Amino acid sequence: MIDGTVSLVTGGNSGIGLGMVRGLVAAGADVVIWGTNEEKNERAVAELRAPGRRVVAFRCDVSDEKQVVATFAATLEEMGKIDSVFANAGIGGVRTRPFTEMTLDEWRSMMVVNLEGAFLTLREGARHLVDRGEGGALIGVSSTSAIHGAPRNQHYAAAKTALLAVMRGLAVELARYGIRCNALVPGWTETPMTEKSRTHEKFLANTTARTPVRRWGTPDDFGAVAAFLADPAQVFHTGDTIVVDGGYTVF
């Protein structure tokens, strides 16, 4: 159980992030949500507020270094500590143009949130956990786009693939401090980010047929795995890439 621990989940006000927050709270953790949409932040806090549990939210754009540093400091002031950090905030790729027409600005706009934002979040988390000296967990949320081909979405896939390398490097570097570093790789999941994709009946049917469990995931499919990754009892589990995709990538 993770009673008495504090988890930070970026992008935790909707989608997979909110599913992880629900799982963490159900397992006994106090949780801090970072999100850019203050209305969604407030709704998430209102949903999860319960006796004996602390759920708070801060507005933070993870692509802005000053905001990340300041918001992490505010989080520590509010909660006193952080035991696990889930670098989950991100934006989705828009499959509207072929790779040959992709602009450098489009490429960079994906990297600044999905890779640089994760870097900044994980860096601040690592600094705190190293200084605190009591171990902890860092989790980078990637995507199955890092495993299979993602046409017209190479910028998104590149950022998510790079995040896997970051997590492996952190696992080696931070093991001496008792900090567990793992990656979570979601498959096709029903979230606001994938809402447009789910309107294409052929695409939805094809991806569902290729998924052995014969459905897309839901945000709540990620609650239990989040609680597992945040569990301080899992002292020997680091450097892993956990795929939660209903079997999509192995079929």
Q: How far is CA 8 from CA 18, 32, 76, 157, in A?
A: 11, 5, 10, 24
Known catalytic membership, residue 156: yes
DSSP state letter for 239: S
Set 156, 188, 216, 222: catalytic member: 156
CA distance 29 to 25: 5
Contacts of 187 (CB under 8 A, 6+ apart): 144, 211, 216, 217, 243, 244, 245, 246, 248, 249
Tokens of 119: 């870097």
Which residue intervals of 133-247 are DSSP H helices?
A: 154-174, 201-210, 223-230
DSSP state letter for 189: B
Q: How far apart are the first and last CA of the chain?
A: 33
CA distance 82 to 6: 5
Cβ atoms < 10 Å from Cβ of 175: 13
Q: Which residues are catalytic?
A: 156
